[in-house]
């Protein structure tokens, strides 16, 4: 009999089972096959992890110089490079994303560790000119024990986005991966240990968000919560964290517009729009899920878009030629399908997809066709709510003013793309869009070094950039009196 692989918690550098001895199962969403059992953490395990993180902060990690932390981060990146193929495969198996997607994301995670290895060295306080007899300087100190909670859509990359700046800043961490995709975050934590991160600096708790996740957020031993996930969960987290006034950063949902002006490079805009929505099977916070096209090219654009969408290869995520992988769960397939049905009920037109794919290869696992919904008005549910699947909704606009108004007519403000060959218009529109990221003539979002994060209900705080280090540090201002005569402020 084959012995099933089991993944345990990582607490204080030790692999441990849950204190209750409970396990949960994790699956390959593309086949529905069970991959492994994972320890189901209890609240007592959270207490132990937070305690380990606190002791590590006060222990030798707290005495590591920035240079030494930088070396460790570079060493993590080196091990990740050496284990690149294995990590990509594991990510595909646990998330159902295509191999190409996983490769890009694991590579980005590596670059992220390299970025923060350099940032650790560059992050510094400053000295302000103050009146004679005084000396002032500011010091950046680690904010402390950080709870880091990540979603299932980019299990490895999100864990890296969280761990790298926190380690660079000298914090300690209790990481909670999503229940559906816990494996690669656990492997990443092991790699941190192997690279020289002392015991207790990175702890991993696997288990239910509403139970151990919420408990972790409320824990008085935690100084900061860094969360990526749904906007509704972010609101709950912010409320819970407020009880002890923890520092909070939130990377939440989106409904990002992709605006195509009639003067855009037509073919480039088609290819960019396809990538913008169907990358990662549409399960991306920054997916350009609203395609807003100028009316004179709207019909031609829709036809060309559908023709290209038909060419996308969906299937075995491990095949090199696959563009579109599976959906994370059957529940998510139902959510997506429910949105498509709602669009039809509200008067929109499904012009491609809108259903599960047919064929033997899709009988197991969770699949949904790339879908195009046309004639969507901005008040429809599909234009306002995050679908989190391979579904684009198309709306037309008359002029620049209307394009901007439509783009901004959402509670979200994560990302946007603008396609036009008019240089002035591109930058005018970029300036007027209320989102943290605006791309001109490209569909991308995340580059190591460029700040990533949202306006409005897409959250606050920035990842991937230097300013993330400020979010993992407190600034201490030290004012020293260095005058010759003693100070006598009351003049007595």
Q: What's the first-to-final CA gap in the chain, in angstroms?
A: 87
Distance of CA 87 to the CA centre of its chain: 18
H or E segment and range at residue 303: helix 298-311
How far apart CA 72 and CA 470 sit, in angstroms, is: 20
Q: Is 179 in the site for ligand NAD (CB under 6 A)?
A: yes
Residues 225-254 that bind ligand NAD (CB under 6 A): 228-230, 233, 236-237, 251-254
**Would you say 198 or 234 has its CB closer to ligand NAD?**
234
Nearer to ligand NAD, 254 or 317 (CB): 254
Smallest separation (angstroms) from ligand NAD to the CB of 265:
28
Nearer to ligand NAD, 8 or 458 (CB): 458
- Which of 251, 286, 386, 463 is labelled catalytic? 251
Please state the three-class secondary structure of 263-284 as a single string: CCCHHHHHHHHHHHHHHHHHCC
Q: How far is the CB of 149 from ligand NAD (least distance, A)?
A: 5
Q: How far is the CB of 415 from ligand NAD (least distance, A)?
A: 9
Site for ligand NAD in 113-172 (CB under 6 A): 149-154, 158
Token output for 60 = 């030798």
276 binds ligand NAD (CB under 6 A): no
**Interface size with ligand NAD, residues (CB under 6 A):** 32
Task: Select 179 or 395, whichever has its Cβ closest to ligand NAD.
Answer: 179
Q: Is 222 in the site for ligand NAD (CB under 6 A)?
A: no
Measured CA to CA in angstroms, residue 489 lies from 90, 111, 160 at distances of 65, 53, 51
**CB nearer ligand NAD, residue 105 or residue 172:** 105
**182 contacts ligand NAD (rule: CB under 6 A):** no
Q: Where are the alpha helices (DSSP H) in 390-462?
A: 400-408, 423-432
Identify any residues that bridge with 34 across adjacent strands, giving them in sequence order: 27
Q: Which two tokens mark 12?
A: 């204080």
- Are 372 and 355 in contact, with CB atoms under 8 Å apart? no
Q: Does 302 bind ligand NAD (CB under 6 A)?
A: no
Backbone angles phi, psi at 453, to 5 degrees: 170, 175
What residues from 430 to 459 belong to the interface with ligand NAD (CB under 6 A)?
A: 454, 458-459
Q: By CB under 6 A, is residue 386 in contact with ligand NAD?
A: yes
Residue 389 binding ligand NAD, by CB under 6 A: no
In the shown chain, the binding pattern of residues 305 to 334 toward ligand NAD, with x for contact by CB under 6 A and - for none, equals ------------------------------
What does the DSSP assignment read for 188-212? HHHHHHHTTPPTTSEEE--S-IIII
Q: According to CB under 6 A, which one of 102, 120, 185, 217 is a site residue for ligand NAD?
A: 217
Dist. CA 329–CA 335, nearest whole Å: 10
Residue 479 near residue 134, CB atoms below 8 Å: yes
Give the C-alpha separation, 210 to 429, whole Å. Answer: 40
Binding residue for ligand NAD, selected from 144, 155, 165, 209, defined by CB under 6 A: 209
Both tokens of residue 330?
């059957």
Tell me the C-alpha distance between 108 and 156, whole Å. 10
Q: Is position 285 annotated as part of the catalytic site?
A: yes
Beta-bridge partners for 176 = 149
Whose CB is nearest to ligand NAD? 209
171 is catalytic: no
Q: Looking at 206-214, 368-376, 390-398, 416-424, which segment touches ligand NAD (CB under 6 A)?
A: 206-214
Positions in the binding site for ligand NAD (CB under 6 A): 149-154, 158, 176, 178-179, 209-210, 213-214, 217, 228-230, 233, 236-237, 251-254, 285, 386, 388, 414, 454, 458-459
């Amino acid at each position: 009999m084959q012995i099933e692989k089991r993944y345990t918690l990582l607490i204080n550098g030790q692999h441990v089972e849950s204190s209750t001895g409970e396990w949960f199962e994790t699956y390959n969403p593309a086949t529905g096959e069970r991959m492994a059992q994972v320890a189901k953490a209890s609240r007592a395990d959270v207490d132990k992890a937070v305690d380990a993180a606190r002791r590590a902060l006060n222990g030798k990690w707290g005495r590591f110089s920035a240079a030494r932390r930088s070396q460790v981060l570079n060493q993590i990146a080196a091990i990740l490079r050496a284990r690149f193929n294995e990590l990509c495969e594991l990510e595909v198996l646990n998330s159902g994303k295509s191999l190409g997607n996983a490769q890009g994301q694991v590579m980005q995670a590596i670059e992220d560790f390299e970025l923060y290895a350099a940032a650790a060295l560059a992050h510094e306080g400053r000295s302000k000119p103050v009146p004679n007899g005084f000396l002032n300087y500011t010091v950046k100190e680690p904010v402390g024990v950080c709870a880091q909670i990540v979603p299932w859509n980019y299990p490895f990359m999100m864990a890296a986005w969280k761990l790298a700046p926190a380690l660079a800043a000298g914090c300690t961490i209790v990481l909670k991966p999503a229940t559906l995709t816990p494996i690669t975050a656990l492997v990443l934590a092991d790699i941190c240990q192997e690279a020289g991160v002392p015991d207790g600096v990175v702890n991993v708790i696997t288990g239910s968000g509403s139970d151990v996740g919420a408990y972790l957020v409320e824990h008085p031993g935690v100084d900061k919560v860094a969360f990526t996930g749904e906007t509704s969960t972010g609101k709950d987290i912010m409320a819970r964290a407020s009880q002890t006034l923890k520092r909070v950063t939130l990377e939440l949902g989106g409904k990002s517009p992709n605006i195509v002006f009639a003067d855009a490079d037509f073919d480039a805009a088609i290819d960019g729009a396809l990538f913008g929505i169907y990358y990662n099977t549409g399960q991306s916070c920054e997916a350009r899920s609203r395609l807003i096209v100028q009316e004179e090219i709207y019909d031609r654009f829709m036809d060309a878009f559908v023709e290209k969408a038909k060419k996308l290869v969906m299937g075995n995520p491990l095949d090199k030629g696959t563009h579109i992988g599976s959906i994370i769960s059957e529940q998510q397939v139902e959510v997506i399908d429910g949105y498509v049905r709602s669009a039809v009920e509200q008067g929109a037109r499904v012009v491609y997809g809108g259903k599960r794919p047919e064929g033997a290869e899709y009988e197991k696992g969770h699949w949904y066709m790339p879908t195009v919904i046309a004639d969507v008005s901005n008040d429809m549910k599909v234009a306002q709510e995050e679908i989190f699947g391979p579904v684009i909704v198309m709306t037309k606009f008359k002029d620049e003013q209307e394009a901007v108004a439509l783009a901004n007519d959402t509670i979200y403000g994560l990302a946007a793309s603008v396609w036009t060959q008019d240089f002035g218009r591109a930058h005018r529109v970029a300036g007027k869009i209320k989102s943290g990221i605006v791309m001109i003539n490209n569909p991308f979002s995340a580059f190591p070094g460029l700040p990533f994060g949202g306006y409005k209900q897409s959250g606050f705080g920035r990842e991937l950039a230097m300013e993330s280090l400020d979010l993992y540090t407190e600034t201490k201002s030290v004012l020293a009196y260095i005058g010759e005569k003693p100070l006598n402020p009351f003049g007595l």
